[in-house]
Chains A and B, each alone.
Chain A
Amino acid sequence: NAGVTQTPKFQVLKTGQSMTLQCAQDMNHNSMYWYRQDPGMGLRLIYYSASEGTTDKGEVPNGYNVSRLNKREFSLRLESAAPSQTSVYFCASSEAWGKPETQYFGPGTRLLVL
């Protein structure tokens, strides 16, 4: 079991460029999440997918879009990157929505927007 995998591990973008962060889980979890972590701030939820076929906004969704491609995969897209989106992005999954005790995180993607 790989758990939760994310690609890429690192990325440097110029302002205005677009990119997609990929996330996959092999634990047959129903729910998936995207968080960002910034210095001096706790992890903040960007978007989540409670189950396959559904997505909803979290705390900080502006500037992002998501796609729940299938039960395993949940991608995060930055359409026009801004320096304020420089952050570490974590994907996570859990057995079901609202069960953080079953939540596992991926290794993270470090994004720098110049």
Chain B
Amino acid sequence: RKEVEQDPGPFNVPEGATVAFNCTYSNSASQSFFWYRQDCRKEPKLLMSVYSSGNEDGRFTAQLNRASQYISLLIRDSKLSDSATYLCVVNPTSGTYKYIFGTGTRLKVLA
């Protein structure tokens, strides 16, 4: 089993739709979780951290489910500009450099 797994997609959704992605992780002791956004042929950029209590930033909501070992990203009222690949990042061991990147989920928002 991969340490971090994501559905590669693509998720094709119309503008205004709500879409959600999950990311599963294998190490139950994992400490830190993040979502990054990567546009085609560009560098990854931090979208948001994922806290135990959840995290919301405008149209974006991230949640952590430790019991089932996954994190989720919900995007409401999708915009064309949300089209990108969303990378899940997990730190399996606190205090180390070791951040595991998922392969990403591709989102296409259609007009």
Contacts and interface: CB of A to CB of B under 8 A. Distances in A.
Contacts of A105: 43-45
Interface string B74-111: 00000000000001010100011111111110000000
Contacts of B91: 98, 100
Contacts of B4: 42
Contacts, number: 49
Judged by DSSP, the binding face of A is: loop
Interface residues of A, number: 23
Interface string A35-60: 00000111111001010000010110
A97 interface: yes
B46 interface: yes
Contacts of A33: 97
B108 to A, nearest CB: 18
Interface in B17-45: 32, 34, 41-45
Nearest to A33: B97
Contact of A98 (B34, B45, B97): B97
